[in-house]
Structure 1
Amino acid sequence: MRTASRVDGNQPRIVSALRQIGASVLHVHQLKNCFDLLVGYRGRTFIIEVKDPAQPPSARQLTPGEEEFRRTWRGSPYHIVETVDQALAIITQP
């Protein structure tokens, strides 16, 4: 049986900030080899992987499964963020 996926320490702050500006946020980190957040904002969809800048660089790398998903995904761009500002910049850019 697979245990629950770990949530990065900064993820709740990022989710809260996204929701405060009116974004829909779906947690999908429980899906193996995927990404953390599916975000909808102003008619667009964003795939966001959250990494915690408090962790050492080696712990912020994509897992092999995440990297495979990113490499083979043919839909919306796969974004990697570490901060609230990065997440907001991605979804609010024209």
Structure 2
Amino acid sequence: MTRRYAARADANQPQIVSALRRAGATVTATHAAGQGFPDLVVGYQGNNFLLEVKDGSKPPSERQLTPDQRDWHRDWRGQKAVVCNIAQAMAACGIELKGVKA
């Protein structure tokens, strides 16, 4: 039985998306895809990155992956990252912060 949680973006997701786009990445928000799929698909310099966004301003107990997300991350054989801020998102995608306001 698949668990279902409300598909809503974390409060910091718009700022992360904006920073990635300013750096030249393409970004598609996929937080509503469900079944644990990550929040963002990012394309940068011919590479794709899957990012799960957690709100770094929340306590660690509220930044935990949901059961569906844990299952998805456990089973996925490709690149994925959990990020809490712009700097982590940029690093996960191999983007230098220079010239991009964090």
For the criterion TM > 0.5, the same-fold answer is yes
Residue 45 in structure 1 maps to residue 48 in structure 2: yes
Q: 1:88 aligns with which of 80, 87, 90?
A: 90
Out of 59-68 and 3-12, give the one that drifted further: 3-12
2:32 is the counterpart of 1:30: yes
Deviations 1:5-60 (A, max 9, x none): 11111100000000001101011100112110000000001010000011121110
Specify every segment of 5 or more residues in structure 2 that has no aligned partner in the other structure, as ranges.
Answer: 96-102
Where does structure 1 lack aligned partners over 5 or more consecutive residues? none
How far apart are the structure 1 equivalents of 2:20 and 2:77? 24
Deviation at 1:4, TM superposition (A): 5.3
CA-based RMSD of the aligned residues comes to 1.5
3-state SS of 2:65 partner: coil
TM-score if structure 2 supplies the norm length? 0.82
**Number of aligned pairs?**
91
TM-score, length-scaled by structure 1: 0.89
Measure the CA separation in 2 of the matches of 1:58 and 1:3: 17
Give every structure 1 segment of 4 or more consecutive aligned residues whose post-TM-superposition deviation is greater than 6 Å: none
Letter in 1 for 2:54: K
